[in-house]
A and B are shown apart, each in its own frame.
Chain A
Amino acid sequence: MTNKIDPKLMRDLERFGLKDACKCAHCGNCTAMCHLSTPDNPFPRRFVRYIQLGQRDKILSSAEPWLCYYCGECSERCPRGADPGETMMVLRRYLTSAYDWTGFSRRFYTSESFELVAVAVVAGLVGLALWFFNTGHPNWEHADVNSLWPAASVEIADLVMAGILSFLLLSNSYRCVKFIMGDLLGKVPLRIYASQLKHLVIHGATQKRLGECKDRMPWYVHLLIMTGYATVFLMVVVLLNGLGSEGWKFQRGWPEYPLWNPIRLAGYYATFGIMYGTTYAILGRLKKSRPAYKNSHATDWMFLILLQATTVTGILIHVARLVDWPAGTYGLYAVHMMAAIPMLVLEVPFAKWAHLAYRPLALYLVEVKRQYHAEASAPEQTAVAVSPEQGRA
């Protein structure tokens, strides 16, 4: 097996936020401390080693960075202050950019100015689109968004965007699969891929591995954001125009739904979930309350700011509609779109949101490989069994 060395790897990773990996003296404390590290997939120390040695290929073909949920215990207990938890975070950023064939993600992660310009450009384009494409006959008597930007048209734009983003995310995900599976990609029979699909669904829906960390708070917060986000995603992509039915329209005209309407309640749940989660994360990052919040990359902030801006403007639109203030509603709607769309367009295929695909995918592939090895070489596992045997090292 070739073992290519990239002497510039560490410097490259510094552009993704790497700081203290060079301090590591390889005692192995982090790997043995981690609740998620297993004999089959031990991490994080091994990855610090790869970084120090410049073993780019080993990193690209690894699923482990996605198995880490950054509880930060390894960093807290690191005898050298080498912050292995943050190193794994950096690798997730790096892998996200490596999976992205457009090269956009890499620029987004490594240049703050590029990131800002990208967000500004997309927001500007959305603003222009809203300015040029509308009915031209807004309802000035009542706050009715549909009078200016009809739900049916927005829904079409929505689906076009969803299609493009799905294409990008799926093509990047395919590269993720290709990198992680390596030579095994074609060797593993489809039957095994199919038999392990349940893991993809379970991990995607529950993130239960995060719940295995010692501190479960991040899991609860994450579940809140995830379910809130999934709810609002369904309403925006599927129900924006209510599938043609007036009673299910998320983008409803005037008047607002009665208080106990399921669409309205679902909106409240989603708003609460995302607001609680993002506020928790923003305060945490400001106060550096958890190890995971000690090092904030520019993209971490951009993600939280866009998500919270989207939610806050969403709340304000709701208020403007309740008080029936047409001008306010339309203005806020435009701002809302100018925050939401850059967030989706930039974050989903190219940045932090992409983990929604890569994490479950990595966990799924780990199971696929495990199953394949179990079947292929049953008596000779690649992993070293945990045993009290005391043979010579």
Chain B
Amino acid sequence: MAPAAAQAILVVGGGISGLTAAIEAAEAGHEVYLVEKNPYLGGHVAQFYQYFPKLCPPSCGLEINFRRIKNLPRLHVMTMAEVARIEGEDGSWQVTIDQSPRYVNGKCTSCGKCTDACTLEIDNPFNCGMDRIKAAYLPHDMAFPQQFVLDPALVKSDEAQKVKEACPYDAIELEMKRKKIELKVASVVWATGWKPYDMAKLETYGAGKYPNVINNVMMERLASRQGPTQGKIQRPSDGRAPRDVAFVQCAGSRDENHLAYCSSVCCMAAMKQAMYVRAQIPDARITIFFIDIRAMDRLDSFYQELKRDEKIRFFKGKVAKIDEEGSTNNLVLRVEDTNDATLHELKMDLVVLATGMQPNTYDDPVPAKSVEYDDHGFISPPDGKPGIYPTGCTRTPGNVSDAAQDGTGAALKAIQSVVRR
């Protein structure tokens, strides 16, 4: 057997798949390092308001996972950290981790006094930049670790000292520096997940230009009680509750000019979000523009349920373009109903684009040699070749339960790499 230090497993990405892989491997008795870029764990799941099809909140599942972490002394969590370099081969990897300063140490009790003392504001990344927060902040209410963060802009400002003095627990360290951490691990699980496809690239939809054209992740934040509107679904342009809401499916998906593949979750996500609107604005009329509906197996009953709802209309046809009516910020969608080959221009108050999942490895590949990707940036290891194990949406787009199951699978593969030595 190799020395114990070299039997550790590195999991990169603290979203649902990485979190699951790390916890499962640690619970099986292995030394695990979990590296997360954000100051909190949970990834996109933490941003979601509800899961489909049960419409239950993701917070309870995350809570259970965080609780499991607390019982695992062998699981070392590093937030605000990224992997800078990986060298070696299966069974023996030399890893360099780059950790940004949080400027807050473990003494933080989340009392919030630093926030009160701070006046500087930044765009809130957790809410997709739809609101602004103080530069001394807790990323979100459920954040794990439950520790505040200081934005570098605040640390550089004149206010820094005042904010530091506001802390009664001496938890703020303005001198905290960027850290380089060297690790020796036996195997690596890569779970850096996905991002919504950049909607500014969808020129014909005017996304990013028209305030009332948003994407499906923004819709999650609009519906969430901790979101920019405290859970009120409203038009970004004027705060009015929308009457006609459009969900535009395959916005840049299954499209050779953008993402050529189907992300598999957007249909269900749109239907789920249609239910958010239904629950909150009973007289709102909802149109879901689709090419094909992907609601497989048990999810089909959710689709059937929505089809029976007279406020929800399924419209077969890909929206080709969206124009804004200048003064009202209303939107006009031009679309062909492909069932009867008729051309329509439909006026909407709010448009939610189903932008697909793009793997983060598309722009930020694994900093290691010999990792293979498919045409879209997903890691596609040749069968049976041990090495770096992709999981969750790094491997293929999927929903939360797929990602969690995949994480467990990755944990098993990573363990096999360790015990094979």
Contacts and interface: CB of A to CB of B under 8 A. Distances in A.
Interface of A: 25-33, 37-39, 42, 45-46, 49, 76-81, 383-384, 386, 388, 390, 392-393
A25 B291 contact: yes
B337 interface: yes
A393 B316 contact: yes
Contact of A388 (B315, B320, B343, B346): B346
A390 B318 contact: no
A130 B168 CA distance: 108
A45 B336 contact: yes
B339 A77 contact: no
Given A38-B343, A77-B204, A28 B256 contact: no
Secondary structure at chain A's binding surface: helix, strand, loop or mixed?
Answer: loop
**Which among B310, B337, B339 has the highest number of chain A CB atoms within 10 Å?**
B337
22 contacts: A27-B254, A27-B318, A28-B336, A30-B320, A31-B320, A31-B336, A32-B320, A32-B335, A33-B320, A38-B343, A39-B342, A39-B343, A39-B344, A45-B341, A79-B254, A79-B256, A81-B256, A384-B344, A386-B343, A388-B346, A390-B285, A393-B315
Question: Closest 9 CB pairs between A and B?
Answer: A28-B336, A32-B320, A79-B255, A27-B318, A388-B347, A33-B320, A31-B336, A28-B317, A384-B342
A31 B343 contact: yes
Contacts of A25: 254, 291
B281 to A, nearest CB: 14
B287 interface: yes
Interface of B: 204, 244, 250, 254-257, 285, 287, 291, 310, 313-321, 334-347
B320 A29 contact: yes
B344 A386 contact: yes
A384 B343 CA distance: 8
Given A33-B204, A386-B345, A393-B337, A27 B291 contact: yes
Nearest to B255: A79
**Which among B310, B314, B320 has the highest number of chain A CB atoms within 10 Å?**
B320
A329 B340 CA distance: 62
Contacts of A31: 320, 336, 341, 343
Contact of A28 (B254, B314, B320): B320
Nearest to A81: B256
Nearest to A76: B257
Contacts, number: 90
A393 B335 CA distance: 13
Contacts of A392: 310, 313
Given A31-B343, A77-B204, 14 more contacts: A25-B291, A28-B317, A28-B320, A32-B335, A33-B320, A33-B321, A39-B343, A79-B255, A384-B344, A386-B343, A388-B244, A390-B285, A390-B287, A393-B339
B287 A28 contact: no
Contacts of A80: 256
Nearest to A23: B256
Nearest to B342: A384
A37 B257 CA distance: 22
Contacts of B310: 392
Nearest to B319: A32
A78 B341 CA distance: 17
A393 B313 contact: yes
B368 to A, nearest CB: 34
A169 B319 CA distance: 41
B379 to A, nearest CB: 25
A49 to B, nearest CB: 8
Contacts of A386: 343-345
Contacts of A28: 316-318, 320, 335-338
B105 to A, nearest CB: 51
A78 B287 CA distance: 23
B341 A77 contact: no
Contact of A27 (B314, B338, B340, B344): B338
Contact of B257 (A30, A45, A77, A390): A77
Nearest to B314: A393
Contact of A32 (B255, B257, B321, B339): B321
Contacts of B336: 28-29, 31-32, 42, 45
Given A42-B343, A390-B285, A393-B315, A32 B334 contact: yes
Contacts of B285: 390
A77 B256 CA distance: 9
B305 to A, nearest CB: 16
A39 B336 CA distance: 9
A81 B317 CA distance: 17
Nearest to A32: B320
Nearest to B260: A79
A45 B291 CA distance: 14
A43 B204 CA distance: 19
A262 B133 CA distance: 76
A30 B320 CA distance: 7
A84 to B, nearest CB: 12
A26 B336 CA distance: 10
Contacts of B339: 393
A382 to B, nearest CB: 10
B163 to A, nearest CB: 50
Nearest to A27: B318
Contacts of B337: 28, 393
Contacts of B317: 27-28, 32
A29 B254 CA distance: 12
A182 B202 CA distance: 42
**Which among B314, B318, B346 has the highest number of chain A CB atoms within 10 Å?**
B318
Nearest to A33: B320
A73 B35 CA distance: 45
A31 B257 CA distance: 17
A33 B291 CA distance: 15
A46 to B, nearest CB: 5
Nearest to B286: A390
A29 B318 contact: yes
A30 B338 CA distance: 11
Nearest to A40: B343
A223 to B, nearest CB: 27
A392 B312 CA distance: 8
B341 A46 contact: yes
Contacts of A388: 244, 346-347
A30 B255 CA distance: 13
B244 to A, nearest CB: 7
A42 B320 contact: no
B256 A27 contact: no
Contacts of A79: 250, 254-257, 318
Contacts of B314: 393
Contact of B342 (A30, A42, A77): A42
A194 B297 CA distance: 61
Contacts of B344: 39, 384, 386
A110 B413 CA distance: 59
A296 to B, nearest CB: 22
A78 B320 CA distance: 10
A80 B291 CA distance: 12
A32 B343 contact: yes
B206 to A, nearest CB: 14
A335 to B, nearest CB: 47
B313 A77 contact: no
A79 B256 CA distance: 5
